[in-house]
Structure 1
Amino acid sequence: MFSSGALSDVKVIDLTQMLAGPFCTQVLADQGARIVKVEPINGEGMRRTGPFLADDKLRSFGGYFQSVNRNKASIALDLKNPEGREVLKELVATADVVVENFRGGVMERLGLSYEELAKINPALVYATVRGFGDRRSGESPYYEWPAYDVVAQAMGGIMGITGPSPEQPTKIGPGVGDTVPALMLAIGILSAVHHARRTGEGQFVDVSMVDCILALTERIVYQHSYEGHSPVPEGNKHPLLCPFGLFRAKDGWVSIACATDELWRELAHAFGRADLAESAECATNAARVRNAGLVIQSLEEFTRQKTKDELKVILGGRVPFGPVYTADDVFHDEHFRSRDMLVEIDHPGSQQRVTITGVPIKLSKTPGGIGRRAPTVGEDTDAILREIGMSSDRIERLRKSGAVAGA
């Protein structure tokens, strides 16, 4: 476990799987929280999802699992075994937080609900992320529905304003239906831990994936309320600002964003159309939105003749500008290296070192970091159990009963 950082005195029992839950606990782990990842005896299912390294003979996990489970320790428990459930309760007694993202009712059927665990540890923060939330916070008609990233994106409204035309909604590339709720849950956990440290009172923290995407897509709510219509996909432009979006370059695409009239004037001079800076059709943002076709055509007549690198020299630093990067571009841009956003780490079973995304939250006094690769299944079982006072004899008995497993 990563032992330094601002959250080094926070212990989290992590019962999560897939992406939303593990991404949340990764964010906490990167800032030093002690994450005890509780896995089934055969490991979390996402261990078997690639990509895998060609020389990896162990196949303990692939890139997916490595990326969101760094800085964590793993214990393998059979929660269907009464002794395994007892071990979990003993772990909870020593913890600040429990995080899970099972479908509603799973933990209740195991006798491990928030209400039962709070009897053991009244200061416990019990956090969940589910597709449509938990009944404790409001009875959704979709409570029983399973959900993944694309479901949250669809019903949370973000797909409905993303795409090349009003008739063609488009999925956002990365799994924002998982990662955004994960970030919201991390904020909720830290808020609840702060309250528990101050008062001794734990609580239930509930995040719905669909709710979080609606919160992310906030403008569709006020647009509907203020204007009485439902926004639709508008391609690479913005409905309220112009120019603000993507523009074709000679070798790809670039983003340009002028949210003020001053920036527009700077841009107009930069691409050789000073006449548009103060013209009636373009002088104000409202005018530019009305005449978006003229603005975009004029700007693209310039950008199409230049490469991304050439536009970087001309526009970089003058107006908000950025080339649309591929992964290869990211790996070759010094920004990401200098900011420690590309971190090399070991991978068990391989002679290669792999690169994963670094920690974007930078704290000057208590910096987070990546101190450890993702664990193998049950790699830390014995150490975790010894830490809560179990004897070697008891650990061995639990192993023989099938309640726990080690690496």
Structure 2
Amino acid sequence: MRSLAAGPLNDVVVIDLTTMLAGPFATMVLGDLGADVIKVEPPHGDFIREQGPFAPDDELRAFGGYFQSVNRNKRSVVLDLTTEEGRASLLDLVAHADVVVENFRHGVMDRLGLSYERLQEKNPHLVYAAIRGFGDERTGSSPMRDWPAYDITVQAVSGLMEITGEPDRPPIKTGPGLGDTVPALFAVIGLLSAVHRARRDGVGGFVDVSMYDAMLAMCERAVYQHSYTGEVPTRQGNSHPLLCPFDVVPAADGWVSIAAPGNKHWQQLCAAIGRPELATDERTRDNVSRLANRDFTMSAVTAWTTTRTKDQIVETLGGKVPVAPVNTVEDIYADPHVRARNMLVEVDHPGVSHPLTIANSPIKFADAPPTHVRRAPLLGEHTDEVLAQFDNTTAAFQLEETR
């Protein structure tokens, strides 16, 4: 059996043509799993390189925290795909690759003469993955096919924002860019499935993930609620339309989440808050009853939580009832779970005298040590190295032109 020491995908070569967040997040996951991710950038680099945030003592400003976080474990090659030389160099790389990932708007690669069909001619085993706002005509042409899209765009159109926020208040997008990262994860699942098929059957394929589709799939509850009941779900804060208690409640010094919709957890919660009679009260004895009497149920819970600190609540309920404090990032840096799981990792940053911290991969393997996280690459840092490795003799740009 092949060793996992360098990651289970250590024999997979990925040509990364992505920018911004959705595509780079997908290829970052592949790089975290050991794939050789070759990030192909235009002469001016990925737009995100310039966006920060930058460390106060970073005078080089080759890239900021945003780029560092989602472009770790990659090598950077500069090619100008608007030139014949650049396209020829890309085709040479594709001939040796397992996967190509891009998140351009629909038709961009086709206009460059680098369509899926052209790349497949060069490498019949190639898996080509596209992440676009509204998908590709190869799998179903949307009337919005040519529209640009960002995280906030697809959070809005998919219905996620309609069910996020407080009643009678404007819709709210989620804090992190789920409109990008969720489609990225779906793309990783799809392309790894296609790689498996390519190695089994010798047939590559085109994997298409629409950001809109991915977010709609994530909002599955709203779909079946409407089908089964005819209702149009909307914002209801942190509570759940089908479960109770399942909410964020006030503590004396902040907020905690408590979820006890199952009868066993509800009974344990009732005992802990000194209200054992609620476990058999007809208004609260089961989840259906608690939903019908949500205000009464939650008032009993909050009467107890508001007189105690977050730490006191967690100490009482932890390990018995699903409970968690609403953490700030400072809390997360101090959390023993985060340390035990190695979820914060330090990386070098060019131009900065000390390591900086990014979130680590959550994917762990019991039979392999954690892989070393390599910092994000400088623009064109690996151009000569990669082109030589893949026996390419024509570089679109000399290395000094990329620095």
Structure 2 stretches lacking a partner, 5+ long = none
**Counterpart code for 1:361:** I
Contact kept, 8 Å, 2:92 with 2:392, in 1: the verdict is no
* 1:399 and 2:394 are equivalent in the alignment: no
Shift of 1:370: 4.0
- State the SS of the aligned residue for 2:224: helix
Q: Does 1:146 align with 2:144?
A: no
Contact 2:5 2:368 in 1 (8 A): no
Q: Distance in 2 between matches of 1:181 and 1:130?
A: 9
Tell me the residue number matched to 2:383.
381
Please report the TM-score for the alignment, with normalisation by the length of structure 2. Answer: 0.97
- Mapping 1:108-127, distance limit 5 Å: 108-127=110-129
Measured against aligned partners, the alpha-carbon deviations of 1:121-140 in whole angstroms (never above 9, x if no partner) come to: 00100001011111111111
The structure 2 residue matched to 1:339, chosen from 329, 338, 341, is 341
Aligned pair partner of 1:199 in 174, 185, 201: 201
Question: 2:260 maps to which residue?
Answer: 258
Q: Distance in 1 between matches of 2:200 and 2:342?
A: 34
Residues in 2 aligned to 1:337 and 1:387: alpha-carbon distance in whole angstroms: 38
Looking at structure 2, the residues matched to 22 and 264 of structure 1 have their Cα atoms a distance apart, in angstroms, of 43
Residue by residue over 1:239-290, the C-alpha shift from the partner in whole angstroms, topping out at 9 and shown as x without a partner, is: 1010001001111110111121111011011011112111011001000000
When the two chains are superposed, the root-mean-square deviation of aligned CA atoms in Å is 1.5
Mapped to 1, the partners of 2:276 and 2:373 lie a distance apart of 53
> 3-state DSSP class of the match of 1:38?
strand
Q: Which residue of 2 aligns with 1:54?
A: 56
Q: Take 2:390 and 2:49, find their aligned partners in 1: how far apart are those partners?
A: 27
1:26 aligns to what SS in structure 2?
helix
- How far residue 390 of structure 1 moved from its aligned partner, in angstroms, is 3.3
TM-score (norm 1): 0.96
CA distance in 2, matches of 1:67, 1:302: 40
Query: Which residue identity is paired with 2:162?
Result: G
Query: Secondary structure of the equivalent of 1:262?
Result: helix
Q: Which residue of 2 aligns with 1:353?
A: 355
For residue 305 of structure 1, what is the aligned residue in structure 2?
Answer: 307
Q: 1:246, 1:129 → 2: CA distance?
A: 34
Q: Is residue 79–residue 397 contact of structure 2 (8 Å, CA) maintained in 1?
A: no
Report if aligned partners of 1:17, 1:101 keep a CA contact under 8 Å in 2: yes
Q: Distance in 1 between matches of 2:114 and 2:5?
A: 28
Residue 314 of structure 1 corresponds to which residue in structure 2? 316
Q: Match of 1:377, as an amino acid? A: L
Pairwise CA distance, 1:150:
0.8
1:97 to 71, 92, 99: 99
Please tell me whether residue 290 in structure 1 is matched to residue 288 in structure 2.
no
Partner Cα distance (1:212, 1:368) in 2: 30
Match of 1:19 in 2: 21
Q: Tell me the secondary structure at the aligned position of residue 36 of structure 1.
A: strand
Q: In structure 2, which of residues 82, 93, 96 is the aligned counterpart of residue 80 of structure 1?
A: 82
What is the alpha-carbon distance in structure 2 between the residues aligned to residue 120 and residue 188 of structure 1? 22
Measure how far apart 1:306 and its partner are.
0.8
Gaps of 5+ in 1: none
Query: Partners in 1 of 2:121 and 2:336 — Cα distance?
Result: 52
Distance 1:199 1:237, change over 3 A: same
1:223-234 equivalences in 2 (<5 Å): 223-234=225-236
Q: Percent identity?
A: 54
3-state SS of 2:397 partner: helix
In structure 2, what is the Cα distance between the partners aligned to 1:74 and 1:356? 19
Residue of structure 1 aligned with 2:73, choices 62, 71, 74: 71
Identify the residue that residue 187 of structure 1 maps to in structure 2: 189
When residues 3 and 262 of structure 1 are mapped into structure 2, their CA distance, relative to the original with a 3 A threshold, is closer
Equivalent residue letter for 1:334: P
State the AA in 2 paired with 1:253.
W
Give the aligned residue type for 2:37: I
Q: Residues 8 and 31 of structure 1 are in contact (CA less than 8 Å); yes or no, is this contact kept in structure 2?
A: yes
Q: Which residue of 2 aligns with 1:44?
A: 46
Equivalent residue, structure 2, for 1:279: 281
**For the Cα contact (< 8 Å) 2:128–2:205, is it kept in 1?**
yes
Distance in 2, matches of 1:294 and 1:169, equals 27
- Distance in structure 1 (CA, Å) of the matches to 2:154 and 2:261: 29
The equivalent of 1:221 in structure 2 is: 223
Say if 2:13 and 2:98, in contact at 8 Å, map to a contact too.
Answer: yes
